[in-house]
Amino acid sequence: AQSVSQHNHHVILSEAASLELGCNYSYGGTVNLFWYVQYPGQHLQLLLKYFSGDPLVKGIKGFEAEFIKSKFSFNLRKPSVQWSDTAEYFCAVNPRGGGSQGNLIFGKGTKLSVKP
Partner 1 sequence: KAGVTQTPRYLIKTRGQQVTLSCSPISGHRSVSWYQQTPGQGLQFLFEYFSETQRNKGNFPGRFSGRQFSNSRSEMNVSTLELGDSALYLCASSLAGTEGGGTQYFGPGTRLLVL
Among 18, 26, 45, 82, binds partner 1 (CB under 8 A): 45
Whole-angstrom Cα distance, residue 108 to residue 92?
10
Amino acid at 13: L
Among 74, 109, 110, 112, binds partner 1 (CB under 8 A): 109
Residue 62, CA distances (Å) to 5, 25, 29, 31, 89 in order: 23, 24, 29, 24, 14
Q: What residues numbered 13-32 form the site for partner 1, per CB under 8 A?
A: 32
CB of 18 to partner 1, least distance (A): 26
Least distance in angstroms from the C-beta of 102 to partner 1:
4
Q: What share of the chain is helix, strand, coil (3-state, %, to 5)?
A: 10, 55, 40
Please, which of residues 56-85 interact with partner 1 by CB under 8 A? none
Residues that bind partner 1 (CB under 8 A): 32, 34, 36, 42-46, 49, 51, 90, 92, 94, 96, 101-109
